[in-house]
Structure 1
């Protein structure tokens, strides 16, 4: 992680947290280059010298927000890995829980998500890291016998990231779908496909 500003006690931590929250809103709404430190401190009711107690520059606070997003996404990806011995009948629900957690994080932190997933220069790297983490999970789960052995999990992982990225913008952020409903629909699509089961007709 990039180096962060020094702690200044409880009051200082509140000021620092407020700067991060407002900076996330400014960057998400205006982009990196149009966001000014002066605008951040004005909205936070703080001074520019106070800003520089915690962050060396606009770039430093932006990078910290990117790191916050990257770390939380990595944590959620690791937590979503299926452990051995799961009843196959409960597999869809268990997969949905992990995917829902990612969408819920995005929904609860839309500004941070816009920065880390779409605005930052590192956004493509972050998505590649997400795909890599998902692939590692899938290969492990494949070895546990949950999925067909001949499936290329790299393709599955990259497809999932593309779907997550697009649906976050067009459904989640538009509040057209909840995190849980998006996760359930994606899981149903990947596990059961689109072809009608004639036996169920």
Structure 2
């Protein structure tokens, strides 16, 4: 998990990272209001006053976790944009790779994902921003000729965020689907639909 803020030396940075990690689990399991600073520092084997060497308050700690999630998700979404000149035969794989990277982040940091995508008051804003970024990516890719020009990419982006949100909870974080398999299935659905195309394989 990333670290920002005041420097306290190597041991201080380790303590700060430990507090972030423990707090993420506590917030993800109990929610913001039921999570106590006393419980976080007890698990970290630190004193309660030492907590305030690293964070001004429980709210500040929670806000930092939300920001860490927001920044990483935004970075991964930016990196997923397709550049011009990709061969059509590799298009679906490239799209799947970008989506799988987001899902891998959620699997590697499940507590952070639960906080930023579901628990935080800012979760709706984060998902709105994600939809806007995806729309911008899709519009650019549409202009490159990858997708049909008559598709409203705002609808596609909102639908994709809805799929990511629901399937993260029901399949990904439950361990029922790997990031790669889930990404492939979503991309296949969005690119090919569910209807049988006569003359094409149904597989």
**TM-score category by the smaller chain?**
over 0.9
Q: How far off its partner does 1:5 sit?
A: 4.0
Q: After the TM superposition, which residues 140-179 of structure 1 pair with which residues of structure 2 at under 5 Å, given as runs?
A: 140-179=140-179
Q: How far off its partner does 1:137 sit?
A: 0.3
Conserved 8 A contact 1:55-1:61: yes
Look up the match of 1:16. 16
Q: String of CA shifts for 1:136-162, please: whole Å, max 9, x gaps.
A: 000000000000011000000000000
Which runs of at least 4 in structure 1 moved beyond 3 Å after TM superposition?
A: none
Q: 2-side partners of 1:72 and 1:50: how far apart? A: 28
In the superposition, the TM-score normalised over structure 1's length comes to 0.97
Q: 2-side partners of 1:65 and 1:5: how far apart? A: 12
Look up the match of 1:198. 198
Q: 2-side partners of 1:110 and 1:176: how far apart? A: 14
Look up the match of 1:64. 64
Q: 1-side partners of 2:155 and 2:45: how far apart? A: 48
Please tell me whether residue 6 in structure 1 is matched to residue 6 in structure 2.
yes
> What is the RMSD computed on CA atoms of the aligned residues?
0.8
Q: 1-side partners of 2:50 and 2:5: how far apart? A: 11
Look up the match of 1:118. 118
Please tell me whether residue 86 in structure 1 is matched to residue 86 in structure 2.
yes
Q: After the TM superposition, which residues 31-110 of structure 1 pair with which residues of structure 2 at under 5 Å, given as runs?
A: 31-110=31-110
Q: How far off its partner does 1:48 sit?
A: 1.0
Please tell me whether residue 26 in structure 1 is matched to residue 16 in structure 2.
no
Q: How far off its partner does 1:200 sit?
A: 2.7
Partner-residue secondary structure (3-state), 1:6: coil
Unaligned 5+ segments in structure 2 are none
Q: 1-side partners of 2:165 and 2:144: how far apart? A: 28
Q: 1-side partners of 2:190 and 2:160: how far apart? A: 9
Aligned pairs, number: 198
Q: 1-side partners of 2:162 and 2:63: how far apart? A: 24
Unaligned 5+ segments in structure 1 are none
Q: 2-side partners of 1:90 and 1:25: how far apart? A: 38
Partner-residue secondary structure (3-state), 1:106: helix
